[in-house]
Amino acid sequence: MPNSWTGSGVDLHLDLQPGPDDGGGGRRAGLESALRAAVRDGRLPPGTRMPSTRGLARELGLARGTVTAAYGQLAEEGYLLTRTGAATVVADLPVAARPERPREAPPAAPRHDLRPGLPDTSAFPARAWLAATRRVLAAARPEVFGAGDPQGRIELRTALADHLGRTRGVIADPGRIVVTSGYHQGLALLTEVLAGELGVRTAAVEDPGHGMFREKLHRAGIAVTPLRVDAHGARVEDLPAAAGAVFLTPAHQYPTGVPLHPARRQALTAWARAGGGVIVEDDYDGEYRYDRRPVGALQGTAPGRTVYCGTASKTLGPALRLAWLVLPPDLVGPVVRAKQRADLYSETLGQLVLADLLATHAHDRHVRGARLRYRRRRALLAQRLADLPGLTVHGVPAGLHTLVTLPEGGPSEQSLLADCARRGLALRGLTELHHDPAGRPGGLLVGYAAPSDHRFPAALDVLTTVLGHALGRRR
């Protein structure tokens, strides 16, 4: 009969088959057989602490002497280790006796990671996060561990409203913020609402631009029209009349790195107000500008027509799965309902810890430190690339990556990416970010934030070696 113990310190399902009632011998044999099977098939791996004989006997309804005898027999057979005054544990069986438990190996990480859009997770503020977690748990009321608010915890929304207004010029109150389980979910919810609630059938997306925008729009049934990017950002004057929304990265265009020109900002907000269009502003790395103060968010000039998208993944780390949308008032209800349909609400404790980091300005201190590190790395990257002929570095000193284009008639993007991959270096190419790659120039997106300080120089060595060989200069 199947049994499990729950009050003895260890949970384990046992298929305990009843034996003949011979004064306990049949029950003991059944217990021994069930425990052997659990060890052999790996449910009790070596080193597992077994429950006490008293606790297991109580849970299984057996005499304590029956359990003690079963433990003794299995110890003699080499399945268990018993020591006076210590807990009984599962022994390390000989290799031949262990069950084969094939496990899928995790994908190998690149030795050197210069992909764009990734922060230095080795610098995650673990001590500040731990201190904030302790404060949150010490003050937590029981309802904190119950079902959450689909709009997000009011503590985080309040902290975000203050933080975004102070650091990015965003005009928002907590009632207009929706917390999502990551940036991808925020875009999915938004495109669902644009298509369903607002009836948007066409949206404009920067070209080149993030493929995620195109993917989410296509999934929502919205046609995508490209909006070319030049040295002044997206060509707002080319917005098609049919577009009901436009998706942009105005502070630091992805991938070219240029900010949207002030005149085009004004033209964009005028377009939205005049025709009722929706501006979707992705402020993915707006905190990082190295030659001057960061450019403020576009949302501050048209809060009633702009959706502001932010995330913790570029400042703290993607694993947190925390992002937010600052919405025009008429979109809050539809997005909250879409969030309820998606996953009810985002996890609560992380929201409260992030709210604490924002309120105590520990987040500000972390970003200032990261800004200094990334500025030094970008300067070193630019210096190393300047020694190679024919390369052009694009964009203002900002963000987490830079775009490098190649000389006409020089090596192809594909050959460089392949050579880098063979040497364990991860990069991203420009071509895939074009709406239609045919005939468009290639290039390399070189991130400088992901490696730790001590690994970054080695990654640069690999990059410049590959480029040097391809351009005819050997290091």
pLDDT in tens, 378-394: 999 999 999 898 999 99
Quick one: average pLDDT of 44-72?
89
- Retrieve residue 85's tokens: 């005054």
- Report residue 419 as tokens: 């050579």
Give the span between the Cα atoms of 364 and 48, in whole angstroms. Answer: 44
By DSSP bridging, strand 202-207 and strand 223-230 are parallel
Q: Has residue 111 been placed in a domain?
A: no
pLDDT at 402: 97
Mark whether 252 and 393 lie in a shared domain: no
The model's confidence at residue 98, banded by pLDDT at 50, 70 and 90, is: low
Check whether residue 274 and residue 135 sit in a common domain: yes
Question: Which domain CATH number covers 45?
Answer: 1.10.10.10
Q: How many domains does the chain have?
A: 3
The verdict on residue 322 lying in a domain is yes
What per-residue confidence (pLDDT) applies to 52?
86
Residue 154 tokens read as 């009011």
The pLDDT assigned to 473 comes to: 53
What are 307-328's pLDDT values in tens digits? 999 999 999 999 999 999 999 9
pLDDT band at 19 (very low <50, low <70, confident <90, very high): low
Asked if 294 and 435 sit in the same domain, the reply is no
How much is the average pLDDT of 237-243? 94
pLDDT band at 296; cut points 50, 70, 90 = very high
Final residue in a domain of this structure, among 364, 389, 419 = 364
Max CA-CA distance within the chain? 93
Q: Residue 356 falls within a domain, yes or no? A: yes
343 within domain boundaries: yes
Which range has the worst mean pLDDT, 63-77, 102-116, 274-288, 439-453?
A: 102-116
Same-domain status, 138 and 284:
yes
Provide the pLDDT for residue 43. 84
The reply to whether 333 and 394 lie within a common domain is no
414-466 confidence digits (pLDDT tens): 999 999 999 999 999 999 999 988 778 889 999 999 999 999 999 999 999 99
CA gap 296, 313 in Å, rounded: 19
**Is the pLDDT assigned to residue 273 strictly greater than 90?**
yes
pLDDT (0 to 100) of residue 474: 41
Question: Which has the minimum average pLDDT: 10-24, 156-170, 230-244?
Answer: 10-24
User: Which of 300, 333, 364 lies at the terminal end of a domain, its last residue?
Assistant: 364
Geometric angle at alpha carbon 170, from 244 and 448, rounded to 5°? 90
For the domain that residue 340 is a member of, what is the CATH number?
Answer: 3.40.640.10
Residues paired with residue 203 on neighbouring β-strands, in sequence order: 224, 245
| pLDDT for 27 | 85
Instruction: Dump pLDDT digits (tens) for 343-353.
Output: 999 999 999 99
Q: Is the dihedral of CA 206, 209, 211, 216 positive or negative?
A: negative
Q: Indicate if 93 and 161 belong to the same structural domain.
A: no
Residue 144 within a domain: yes
Q: What is the pLDDT of residue 4?
A: 47
* Whether pLDDT at 20 is above 60: no
pLDDT band at 25 (very low <50, low <70, confident <90, very high): low
> Which segment of 12-26, 308-322, 368-382 scores lowest on mean pLDDT?
12-26
Better pLDDT: 144 or 7: 144
**Domain-located, residue 107:** no
150-182 pLDDT, tens digit each: 999 999 999 999 999 999 999 999 999 999 999
Domain boundary among 347, 364, 381: 364
- The token pair at 19 is 């034996």
Give the pLDDT score at 276: 92
Q: Which domain holds residue 430?
A: 372-470
Structural domain includes residue 303: yes
